Amino acid sequence: MSGQAAPLARGRFQVSRLWADPVNLLMLILLVVLAYLVLWPFVQLVIHSFTWAEGDRRVSRDAVPGAFTWFHWLQATTGPISGKMLYGPLVNTLKTGIAATIIALLAGGVLAWCVVRSDMPGKRWLQPMLTLPYIVPSFAIALAWEAVFRSPKVGGQPGLYESFLGAAPPEWLSYGTVPISITLAMHYFPFAYLLVSGALATIDSQMEEGALIAGAGRLMILRRITFPVVAPAFAAAFILTFGKTIGQFALPFLLGAPTQFHTVATMVYANLALGLDSMAFVLAIILIAMSLVSIWMANRFVGKKSRRFETISGKGFRNRVIPLGAWKWPVFAGVALFAFTVGVLPLILLGVQSVMLIDGFYGLENLTWHFWTGTSNPDIAFGEPGVLHNSLILGAAWNTIRLAFISAVIASVVGLVIAYIVVRRDNNPLARALDQLAFIPFLFPTIAFGAMYLTLFAEPVGPIPALYGTFTLLVLISVVSRLPYSVKTGMTAVTQIGRELEEAAEVAGAGWGMRFRRIVMPLAGPGVLSGMMVSFVGVMRELSLIILLITPSTRVLMTVGFGYAEEGMTQLSNALVLIVAVLTIIGELILWWIGKGRIARLREKQT
């Protein structure tokens, strides 16, 4: 066997290993790029909030576009319109946010208990149904609410409520705090549900059994054992859910704007629409501050370990369930009814509405496929053709798929590379900085993030052209906003690949590129692929992130749908939102199938 010996030392290099290592080079490049895409926009946002804008000439005679000023901050905090600009919306944001979070947490908590800890039947079916409202775009729920409770006092056709009861619903039920809180809660309770069930799943049932043996009653166990154990997770869930609600834009806009009910998020949009950019930026900064505070507080409750992220998923647990006895079926019926009402009914309502010729009149003669398949008819909807004939919508659909696909692929690959660097170079402070940097977009409410990119790419900077209005900008912001998630997915994947697997290849003489391609990528593949699907679905239903950056040539389904809703063309917006909802559900189903089936088997092979 000692026939032909491998040549020794086929090449050598001088020690500047720091530079010779392509990973270090990559790390530096990524650091610079990310700093530019994440930190710099924020700096720009702050600078702009202290600068006179072009549009400010209309609000102040002193305005000198481009010069420094305290004007906007003063206006927002102490000026005569500060109540309308900041304090009113701030109160509304807190009010709706807290109310929605309480409802979401109560509903989510009870449901989580039923699913995780009780022997309620039909869990397999109910579980996915309970997460449905979080999967569909939030403003689908707002539109469904409107379909029922629309009040003609504000204009437009009557809703289901009036058609059936004959009287207009009270305004507080149609617009403002109540509907916004309820619909927000409907959208976010699955989020709270996931957080709480994750916490419940970690409970060792022996703890409870111990108390049972000690003679404690069921309620007492719940109060003295179960609840204290999940309390920190509960507090964290509360704050995280609240943090999510404050960044919501489309939903409060649709259910608030018609009656001049504004939250901070909608105020950012409204100010930008009026050309009062700097004021919008002040509000965006305040929104970011609120988000930072809430995430900081959530971290204090759950500690460092689960610093990141939304779902402490509760998969793979099997702890003892508590028999419901005679309550088994009533509980099942209650949960099923709830799941149907919040998860399926809104979609049905949208579907029904989208086939009504004149909105609000329920009867067979009023049914039409016009809004789906019709061609332009000047008598209906200002001559807008049905969604399947509408070149605008087909273009938007193409843009949507393209945007979601490209962003998901880039975000996953970049996320994997960053994750690789973070995991494998964990003793390098620059790698840790990269980790932190990639996490920052998670802290920005999406509408504020959009506002940042508005300022950053309005004009060319050095070699970077003005990207405003381009498709590239949409890809860029979508990728960056997905990075916190894709890095996390990548880290999970890379951590599972033993270091020695790579070292074995290194000893065999494979360079970094080859190792990444032939060892890391195939092994991280399954995890990264499902992460890619999550991003795909996420980008597809994204609205507030990109609404500020969209121009007619870069429209996507969500923004077109939002546009129709803004203009009162309900059937069309319903049809569109329904399309997006169905697409995202299909995406989730594929994801579920990947997770359960093929990829899981592949994973098995690898361990």
- Please give the residue ranges that form the binding site for another protein (CB under 8 A): 1-15, 17, 498, 500-501, 503-511, 514, 518-519, 522-523, 604-607
Nearest distance in Å: CB 524, another protein: 10
Q: Alpha carbon 369 to chain centroid distance?
A: 32
Spell out the SS3 assignment of 396-421.
Answer: HHHHHHHHHHHHHHHHHHHHHHHHHH
Provide the minimum distance between the beta carbon of 522 and another protein in the complex, in angstroms, as a whole number: 5
| Cβ nearer to another protein, comparing 236 with 497 | 497
- Residue 391: half-sphere exposure toward Cβ, Cα within 13 Å: 3
Shortest reach from residue 487's CB to another protein, in Å: 23
Minimum Å distance from CB 24 to another protein?
13
Of 110 and 602, which has the nearer Cβ to another protein? 602
CB of 513 to another protein, least distance (A): 12
Closer residue to another protein, CB minimum distance, 13 or 167: 13
What's 156-185 look like in SS3? CCCCHHHHHHCCCCCHHHHCCHHHHHHHHH
The amino acid occupying position 534 is: V
Nearer to another protein (CB atom), residue 11 or residue 155: 11
- For the CB of residue 15, give the shortest distance to another protein in the complex, in Å: 4
User: Based on CB atoms, which residue is closest to another protein, 224 or 601?
Assistant: 601
| Closer of 1 and 214 to another protein (Cβ) | 1
Q: Is the dihedral of CA 352, 355, 358, 361 positive or negative?
A: negative
Structure tokens at 97: 């946010």
Q: Which two tokens stand for residue 508?
A: 């065999």
Q: Which is nearer to another protein, 17 or 318 (CB)?
A: 17
Nearer to another protein, 213 or 507 (CB): 507
Written as six digits, the tokens of 562 are 């939002």
Please give the Cα distance from 444 to 288 (Å, whole number).
6
Supply 217's token pair. 């009653």
- Distance separating the N- and C-terminal Cα atoms of the chain: 33
3, amino acid identity: G
Instruction: Count the alpha carbons within 13 Å of 550 in the hemisphere toward its beta carbon.
Output: 24
Residue in this structure with the two tokens 């843009």, named with its chain if needed: 399
What minimum distance in Å lies between the beta carbon of 519 and another protein? 6
From the number of C-beta atoms within 10 Å of its C-beta (0-12, 13-18, 19+), residue 352 rates as middle
Q: How far is the CB of 607 from another protein (least distance, A)?
A: 7
Q: What are phi and psi of 462, to 5 degrees?
A: 55, -125
330: which 2 tokens? 């009533």
Number of Cα atoms under 13 Å in the Cβ half of residue 183: 32
- The string of DSSP letters for 470-514 reads SHHHHHHHHHHHHHHHHHHHHHHHHHTS-HHHHHHHHHTT--HHH
Least distance CB 492 / another protein (angstroms): 16
The residue among 391 and 607 lying less far from another protein, judged by its C-beta, is 607
